Amino acid sequence: MNSIVESIKHFANVSPDKIAVIAEDEEITYSELYKKISAFAAHLVKRGIKVGDNVIIKGIPSIDFAVAVFGTHLCGAVNVSTEKTLGDDGLVAMIERMHAKLLVADEKPEGTDVDFIVKTDVRKVPDCEYQGEMPTGDMLCDILFTTGSTGQSKGVMLSHRNIVAVSENMNHSINYLKDNVYMIAAPINHAAAIRKLYVSMFTGTTAVLFDGFMNLKGYFTYMEKYHVTSCHMPPSAIHMLVQLAAKKLSEFSDQLDHIHAGSAALPETDKEKISEILPDSRLIFAYGSSEAGCVSLYDFASYQGKINCVGKPNVNAEIFMVDDDKKPYKATKENPGRIAIKGDMVMQGYYKDEELTKTVIDENGVFYTSDLGYIDDEGFIYMVGRADDVINVGGLKIAPTEVEHEVLRMEGIVEAACFATDNKLTGKVPNLAVVMAEGYEFDGKAIAKFLFENLEAYKVPKNIFPVDEIPKKPNGKYDRTNFYKLAEK
């Protein structure tokens, strides 16, 4: 298959009555889904949309969203998905930045004359079969936005071949059930979430789009009602579930084939708790990025005890370590290298930023990440942290996630953030902010003693203090660029 939309057409022919997407208590079969996609693509062409045009689609988890995205793909245009909560000013700015030809949203913002289709009209366009060719693998299909350490959003340009390669990676390593029902509750415009929609359509299975994790009652209702067999959860959601709803989650032990975690480091304590709650389910930890998709997978149930392990390279991925000069490097746990990735998943580049693209992708198509890691003798890859986050104490390097994961083993600590502050003697020193569980009192000396017993002495934070909450991004990841505010408090 050259594209996900071609795969949908295939399953519309071989499994026409199979449910493709469920959202907002509504279902649509593969046959009906492709019919609506084809009609929407034909409608876009009639409205003047051409190959390569950018179409902005507000990320509201719905069947309309799926039809709009794949209809855009089918006619050769480019999907630019935004946050569902993006306000009028943000939408207008995005329209101008992307030179968008069309906006699909719940309502049209003031201050723009861009062509507009209201979300609820996506499936109401006249039934007219798209007469054009299927998109080819090298055609651009998505621009996904990611925020780097500078806080500046970057548009990641992806081709049809890129997103198919990511789906191949996940399916090859996970081996989805034939009747898999995939619960996707993260923001659907985010790379990790939309790629779960893509792999569901690639494998001819069912995707369930749900609006966020905060509505736990609704989340579990959907799991039961639609017999969900796999879930995509960011680590923050897993942490919340093991803290607040472990008993309820355990009721799905015989139903869930696997939980797919990714997008941030998952504490070992949470991995262990999930394995206890769901002993017969797989916990799949994925490593990847917006720029390169899912490139390795690690089944915690099969290989326990490998702390910070992210598995082995997926079928389309080649992974190796380099030094700061991008030269091949024999990395170790004590001296990690930068993780480099090659394969059909790697993006085409950053939107309208050739200079930035050249800093991360070379002439051979190798993508150089900002992640530090190493490969053991068995070929397992370990990710110890981001280069920007690693704390250098007089030449000794500390991965904040290692300290955080260790302290979370202490009873009564529910969240932790390790970060650096300046020091005249060593350059930097580690600090640790912790969130205590209800009913537990903070004891800095006890925490320090525990860490001295379980970590090298230089890794033990010099300052340990309690906070009410840890700064996070909208996707649940730690907002490490704002950890300095913890020190100010």
Could you tell me whether strands 102-105 and 54-58 are parallel, antiparallel, or unpaired per DSSP bridges?
parallel
Residues 6+ apart with CB under 8 A from 305: none
Residue 272, C-beta contacts closer than 8 angstroms, at least 6 positions apart: none
Helix boundaries (H) for 280-414: 354-360, 400-407
Q: Of 107, 74, 71, 68, which is closest to residue 91 (Cα–Cα)? A: 107
Express each pLDDT in 283-324 by its tens digit. Answer: 998 899 999 999 999 888 787 778 888 999 999 999 999 999
Per-residue pLDDT of the chain (489 residues; tens, 9 = 90+): 999 999 999 999 999 999 999 999 999 999 999 999 999 999 999 999 999 999 999 999 999 999 999 999 999 999 999 999 999 999 999 999 999 999 999 999 999 999 999 999 999 999 999 999 999 999 999 999 985 444 468 999 999 999 999 999 999 999 999 999 999 998 999 999 999 999 999 999 999 999 988 889 999 999 999 999 999 988 778 888 888 899 999 999 999 999 998 756 677 788 888 889 999 999 998 899 999 999 999 888 787 778 888 999 999 999 999 999 999 999 998 889 999 999 999 999 999 999 999 999 999 999 999 999 999 999 999 998 888 888 888 778 888 988 998 999 999 999 999 999 888 777 888 999 999 999 999 999 999 999 999 999 999 999 999 999 998 876 667 888 778 777 766
b vs e for 390-427, b when ≥16 Cβ sit within 10 Å of the residue's Cβ? bbebeeebbbbbbbbbbbbebebbbbbbbbbeeeeeee
pLDDT attached to residue 394: 79
CA distances, 151 to each of 9, 78, 147 (Å) = 39, 24, 6
* Nearest CA-CA partner of 66 in 108, 114, 32, 102: 32
CATH architecture of 389-488: 2-Layer Sandwich (3.30)
pLDDT at 151: 47
Q: pLDDT at position 428, please?
A: 86
Q: Where are the domains of the chain?
A: 4-381, 389-488
CA dist 261 to 80, 286, 310, Å?
24, 6, 11
pLDDT of 417 reads: 92
Contact in structure between 219 and 208 (CB atoms under 8 Å): no
- Please state whether beta strands 153-159 and 463-466 pair in parallel, antiparallel, or not at all (unpaired): unpaired
Backbone angles phi, psi at 307, to 5 degrees: -65, 130
> What pLDDT shows up at residue 388?
82
Q: Residue 152 has what pLDDT?
A: 60
| Spacing of C-alpha 235 from chain mean position | 10
CATH for 4-381 is 3.40.50.12780
